[in-house]
Amino acid sequence: GAVVSQHPSWVICKSGTSVKIECRSLDFQATTMFWYRQFPKQSLMLMATSNEGSKATYEQGVEKDKFLINHASLTLSTLTVTSAHPEDSSFYICSAVQGDAAYTEAFFGQGTRLTVV
Amino acid sequence: GQNIDQPTEMTATEGAIVQINCTYQTSGFNGLFWYQQHAGEAPTFLSYNVLDGLEEKGRFSSFLSRSKGYSYLLLKELQMKDSASYLCAVVDSNYQLIWGAGTKLIIKP
């Protein structure tokens, strides 16, 4: 299957700093990428949908100024957690959908475990 | 509102068969996914159903009944490595994925 690479796998940062997470589709063009957050023992929660070349669409309750998403190319989307706080500590996962199909399988990155101290 | 229901936790014995159910109420339907997620890892794709019936793939099978808003994932010949969470997700009319909370499957020797 298609490969989505997410980097870094884990990161520890100090409260108040910013962290950037990258999501790359390695062998296909991803017109749409999704960013999820997962707290322990809970379901995946969609944060935002990002389409190449346009602004991301954020889910209700997700602060767009805090979670900056950039989808500058068909193979790269980034999520920047700005002014991180301990409550932002979570598992962040990206997924990408290939091409223009109405809907196809979503390929997931490996996830990034963020710990804010 | 949109809702996906799955049992929170199930226990089964190595070598046995287990069925994980998923019921859904969503605004429209454009397919249903099953994903497996081991602790601390991202989900991995297991199956996709959009038409009624049973899809078999090795030890795993997935069934869908659109009229009943119901799906199940069937795991045969259980192995210890099958211990994981199994997530049901439905694609709604806006092609958004609606996720269930997942079923934690515990396999005992």
Q: Is the pLDDT of residue A117 over 80?
A: yes
Mutate to test the interface with A, among B9, B26, B36, B41 (most CBs of A within 10 A): B41
Which pLDDT does position A99 carry in this prediction? Answer: 58
Residue among A35, A25, A108 nearest A74 (CA)? A25
Residues A48 and A35: beta-carbon distance below 8 Å: yes
Q: Between these two residues, B93 and A76, which has the higher pLDDT value?
A: A76
Q: Is the pLDDT of residue A98 over 80?
A: no
Q: Tell me the shortest Cα–Cα distance from A17 to chain B, in angstroms.
A: 24
Q: Tell me the shortest Cα–Cα distance from A72 to chain B, in angstroms.
A: 22
Residue among A46, A52, A20 nearest A34 (CA)? A46
3-state secondary structure A23-72: EEECCCCEEEEEEEEECCCCCCEEEEEEECCCCCEECCCCCCCCEEEEEE
Instruction: Quickly state the pLDDT bin for A105 (edges 50, 70, 90).
Output: low
The average pLDDT across B49-68 equals 95
Q: Which residue among A93, A102, A103 sits closest to B42, beta carbon to beta carbon?
A: A93
The average pLDDT across A107-117 equals 90
d(CA A84, CA A52): 25
Q: Which residue among B45, B96, B102 sits closest to A105, beta carbon to beta carbon?
A: B45
Q: Tell me the shortest Cα–Cα distance from A56 to chain B, in angstroms.
A: 14
Test B100 with A43 for CB contact under 8 angstroms. Answer: yes
Q: Is the pLDDT of residue A103 over 60?
A: no
User: Tokens 């049973």, residue?
Assistant: B54
Residue B95 at interface with chain A, using a CB cutoff of 8 Å: yes
Report residue A62 CA to chain centroid gap. 13
| Chain B residue with Cα closest to A43 | B101
Residue B46 at interface with chain A, using a CB cutoff of 8 Å: no
Q: Tell me the shortest Cα–Cα distance from B32 to chain A, in angstroms.
A: 10
Test A108 with B44 for CB contact under 8 angstroms. Answer: yes
Test A1 with B45 for CB contact under 8 angstroms. Answer: yes
Which pLDDT does position A45 carry in this prediction? Answer: 87
d(CA A92, CA B59): 30
End-to-end CA distance of chain B: 40
Q: Is the pLDDT of residue A104 over 60?
A: no
